[in-house]
Amino acid sequence: MKDASPRTLLHNLPVESYVVAFTVVLWLILAVTAPNFLTGDNISNMMRQVSISGIIAIGVLCTIIIAGIDLSVGSVAAFCGVLVAQLLSHGLDVPLAIVLTLAAGILIGALNALSVGKLGIPAFIVTLAGLQVYRGLALLISGGMTVGGLPPGIKEFARGSLFHIPNLFLTLLAVAIIVHYFLSFTRTGRYLYALGSNSEATRRLGIPVFRITLIAYVLCSGLATLAGILLVSRLSVASPSMGNAYELQAIAAVVVGGASLFGGRGTVLGTVAGAILFTTMSNGAVLLDVDPFWEMVLEGLLIALVVYLDNLQKKRLSGV
């Protein structure tokens, strides 16, 4: 065994190293070029901005690891956000409204898992339908209108902070730590990777494949629901247009964070780093007054570049 060779060393670089390196470089550049970048205010702004998209991305990561996908997360966030707002505006207690809404989100995840795991419909199709269905339901239960008049306590959470760290970011950290523990240290978490790697082998080893699928989709929809509730807290109203195109941001963060769309690979650390990278880009574009259209082009090119480098590394290491 030649463990010490440079090849093996590179090989053992974590998959998320590129995105972390990119983010650090971008932070250094911005720290030099944008005078207000490294201010407490701006960093606290970015922490708030990354939280909701980061939580959604961690959920989507779980489905991508099992070689699935969830395109419905943005719509689920909108639907559940409107749902919790409607429950609250009808006078329900805050904890009860949140529990009921989370239950609805878990049910959505279970339905996705049933459609994928039992009916055998491709996840892309199931969740593409969900993208429409839950946006439609958000419109239906809101009558197409913004839902306001929420109890003041709701917006306090998103505005509050603990030791100067915004509550929203603390929520993201808690979610990241729990899901990281689950994926990296528990047997069920490891089976997510096994399933995404080789579903037939996983089945033959007697691992309950449907249960694993169920856990992945329920986690994803549950986290999208949590994100929807946090969005309502942040905006202090619920609008059926919330969460538009969040699924694409989430997938971008997951993929840039080193996950494979073919399943089996991906980490929470990489995903959070991916989400931070995109938030930094968007923040930096405003601070440096980059043309908004160029910003879109740059973000697209970045996705291509990071994934290309990742593939390049894999090819070189496999000796091709």
Are the C-beta atoms of 263 and 10 separated by less than 8 Å? no
Task: Tell me if 174 contacts other proteins by CB under 8 A.
Answer: no
CB of 170 to other proteins, least distance (A): 17
Per DSSP, the chain holds a count of helices (H) and strands (E) of 14, 2
Q: Which is nearer to other proteins, 132 or 311 (CB)?
A: 132
Task: Tell me if 9 contacts other proteins by CB under 8 A.
Answer: no
Residue in 33, 174, 211, 292 binding other proteins, rule: CB under 8 A: 292
Write the CB contacts of 220 (distance below 8 Å, at least 6 apart in sequence).
59, 60, 62, 63, 70, 73, 109, 112
Q: Which stretch binds other proteins (CB under 8 A): 93-101, 108-116, 302-310, 311-319?
A: 311-319
Site residues for other proteins, 11-50, by CB under 8 A, read 11-12, 34, 36, 39, 41-42, 45, 48-49
Task: Tell me if 161 contacts other proteins by CB under 8 A.
Answer: no
| CA–CA gap between residue 65 and residue 258 (Å, rounded) | 11
Site residues for other proteins, 42-101, by CB under 8 A, read 42, 45, 48-49, 52
CB of 203 to other proteins, least distance (A): 8
Q: Which stretch binds other proteins (CB under 8 A): 122-130, 243-251, 268-276, 301-309?
A: 243-251
Task: Tell me if 132 contacts other proteins by CB under 8 A.
Answer: yes
Tell me the chain's radius of gyration from C-alpha atoms: 20
With residues binned 3-state (H G I as helix, E B as strand, rest as coil), the percentages for the chain, rounded to 5, are: 75, 0, 25
Q: Which is nearer to other proteins, 117 or 284 (CB)?
A: 284
Specify the DSSP element, H or E, that contains 162: strand 161-162
Task: Tell me if 141 contacts other proteins by CB under 8 A.
Answer: no
CB of 38 to other proteins, least distance (A): 11
Specify the DSSP element, H or E, that contains 57: helix 40-65
Residue in 241, 300, 305, 311 binding other proteins, rule: CB under 8 A: 241
Task: Tell me if 283 contacts other proteins by CB under 8 A.
Answer: yes
Are the C-beta atoms of 259 and 65 separated by less than 8 Å? yes
| CA–CA gap between residue 314 and residue 267 (Å, rounded) | 17
